Structure 1
Amino acid sequence: MTKPRRVDDAVFDTEDLTKSQLSWSLGQRYSVTSYRSAAAILAQRAPQEMAAVLRVLRDFTISRSEIRAPGGNRMSATTRFADLAAREGFHQEVRIEADLVVKLRAGKGDAAPEIDRIIRDDYIHNHLVDFWRGRVAFDYEWNSKDQTYDRDLYAFRSFFEAGVIDVGVIVTRELSNEFFQSLGYCLDKNGNETDRTVAAKFGASTTGTHKLISRIAAGRSGGCPVLVFGILPDNITPD
């Protein structure tokens, strides 16, 4: 009897293979996780979009003061990320909607008469991705509730099953509580320190790669390949 493999080993690609497929040049600024050969598919099916995504990642940094400042998921760095994506030709806040037409035919062959037709309105309804270009959906999550990942992955699944995309890409953070503790106290809108710590601001219910990857492993994106980039401390710049 052969030794059973873990599901994670079967559906996630190795880091070395993933980085080689992406021609990785971003050092230790991001972690990278590829689900269902997402990196290979991106490189082979959408090489121009892959290059565009990597340019966005190359040009994107976050300062320590931005993390300490108010703003949550819509802080200035989030707006800057969207501007970089737009510069690379990604459309923003793209929604997918579709009706389903079901035809029933009596008999075999193309000439069989249609005996009934059912239309299901809004069969796919209003699922949204942050950015879309070509065969790629692209999302950015900094400090949303972690349930936002379920929404993102279900949107990827809807786009994929409708034949719109080949792969979904998510950029999110991979920063420990110790890192946030090292930033001290939050700032108010005037740049003054408050009595609230940065670690308290980024609580247990907010986004992080470990919460995203566990959802991907559970199959929340269906058959859609997903590529995850985690923002690491080396991508955080001094004030």
Structure 2
Amino acid sequence: MDRSYQPGYYVDNCKGRVLVDVEWNPKDGNADRDLAAYRAWYEAGAIDGAVMITKEIDSCRSLLKTLQDDFYTEHPELQGKKRFANYGTTTTVSLTTARKRFQRGGAGPCPVLIVAIGKKTWDKSKCTGATLKDKKGGSEED
């Protein structure tokens, strides 16, 4: 499969015969569409499987709360003025909704790996604004 496309639908990435879709905050219908596409392509012999990357909603909410608290500690003058992302909606894809759709057979026989990103994947030390060269003690000329 040299192109991951069907009319009106693209897949984020394709490595060999495996599709990789990042579904971070789309509506639930997108997960149904993705799984149906995986199923059709698998049954047609075009792919060997798929990977869906999404979020683990409760863990992301916890991370957001931590980041928000840290931000307001550093910038108390912005308390109540700076709006943060809201992970309160129940109509977007997350690990829970993707798993339910997969378990009810949305992908048919197509093997699908669902990867969920959450608080444990956050490495706060990497968000300091320092570049890798700064951390290694290098300079722009290196």
Q: Give the TM-score normalised by structure 2.
A: 0.67
> In structure 1, what is the Cα distance between the partners aligned to 2:119 and 2:62?
11
* Matching residue of 1:95: 5
Deviation at 1:201, TM superposition (A): 5.0
Q: Which amino acid aligns with 2:63?
A: F
Q: List 4+ stretches of structure 1 deviating above 4 A.
A: none
> In structure 2, what is the Cα distance between the partners aligned to 1:183 and 1:138?
29
Q: Which has the higher strand share?
A: 1
Aligned partner of 2:17 among 114, 117, 135 = 135
Q: Which amino acid aligns with 2:50?
A: G
* Matching residue of 1:197: 84
* Unaligned runs of at least 5 residues, structure 1: 1-90, 97-124, 188-192
Equivalent pair of 1:131/1:139 in contact (CA under 8 Å): yes
Q: Which amino acid aligns with 1:227?
A: L
* Matching residue of 2:74: none
Rg larger for: 1
> In structure 2, what is the Cα distance between the partners aligned to 1:161 and 1:206?
27
Instruction: Give RMSD over aligned pairs.
Output: 2.7
Aligned partner of 1:174 among 56, 67, 72 = 56
The higher-RCO structure (CA 8 Å, 6+ apart) is 2
* Matching residue of 1:232: 118
Deviation at 1:232, TM superposition (A): 2.3
Question: Is 2:37 aligned against 1:151?
Answer: no
> In structure 2, what is the Cα distance between the partners aligned to 1:175 and 1:169?
18
> In structure 2, what is the Cα distance between the partners aligned to 1:157 and 1:128?
15
Identity %: 32
The total of aligned residue pairs comes to 114
* Matching residue of 2:102: 216
* Unaligned runs of at least 5 residues, structure 2: 72-77, 128-142
Deviations 1:84-143 (Å, cap 9, x if unpaired)? xxxxxxx7x7204xxxxxxxxxxxxxxxxxxxxxxxxxxxx5543211122211111112
Q: Give the TM-score normalised by structure 1.
A: 0.42
